[in-house]
Amino acid sequence: MSAPPRGGTLDGMDISTHPLPDADPVDTGWVDAALSTAYAAGDPVGALVGCPLDGGDGLMLAGWPDPAPDLFEQPYALVEALAGQGAGPARFMQVVAFDGPRSPEWVAAEQAAAHGRLWPAVREVPGIVWTLRLRAADGGTSVVTLAETADAIDAAVRAVMSTSLLPGEDPRLLTGPDRMGVYRLMHADLPIPAAGGSAGGGA
């Protein structure tokens, strides 16, 4: 997978998420099957398909022109892409999910923490290619990290955990994630759209 070009704040793409219970690191027919289901639903612009490193379900993130097909109840909007130091290709993906509904106060706190504390801690970690932030209509949020190695993801997690709350941050609003998983990327052709003068391209 080639490294996507650098980007910033995004618009114009929805992301649907699809657990894949038959993921297998050796017999990869499930990857083609997952992609076939996406194309049967409409005309996706690309996808990320991951096999979990620690067992459990695989995951597909399918990209759609805004809006996503009606059959997806709660798609995410791709609201931000932040380019790391890694040139790529990205071969691993971490997904951290905060399920909705979330209050406007929580959404504001998450956004402030992401911009003021978490991304500054992660952006210099070697091997991090992209951090994507996805937001659902009910405030549910997922943070997707694309990295060259699994070690780079581990280093980014350590960097985040080493941060201290900034003045004004309310720990009551900064709850932990509902789910978190690390995946080996089996397929990656999700384009990263440009907005606000940023460069765009494919994952």
Nearest to 183, CA basis, from 104, 77, 97: 97
Q: 176: buried, middle or exposed (CB in 10 Å: 19+, 13-18, 0-12)?
A: exposed
Domain ranges of the chain: 13-191
Say what the pLDDT of residue 10 is: 47
Q: Specify the pLDDT at position 116.
A: 96
Tens place of pLDDT per residue across the chain (203 aa): 333 333 333 457 899 999 999 899 999 999 999 999 999 999 999 999 999 999 899 999 999 987 777 767 679 999 999 999 999 899 999 999 999 999 999 999 999 999 999 999 999 999 999 999 999 999 999 999 999 999 999 999 999 999 999 999 999 999 999 999 999 999 999 987 543 223 334 45
Q: Is the pTM here over 0.85, yes or no?
A: yes
> What is the reported pLDDT for 191?
87
Fold of 13-191: Alpha-Beta Plaits (3.30.70)
Structure tokens at 2: 């080639």
Q: At 167, list the tokens.
A: 């003045």
Distance from C-alpha of 63 to C-alpha of 139, rounded to nearest angstrom: 19
What is each CA distance from 103 to 20, 76, 97, 174, 175, in whole angstroms? 29, 16, 15, 12, 12
pLDDT value at residue 69 = 79
What is the torsion angle, in degrees rounded to the nearest 10, for the CA atoms of residue 64, residue 200, residue 8 and residue 11?
Answer: -30
pLDDT score, position 67: 76
Q: Which residue has the tokens 């106060």?
A: 105
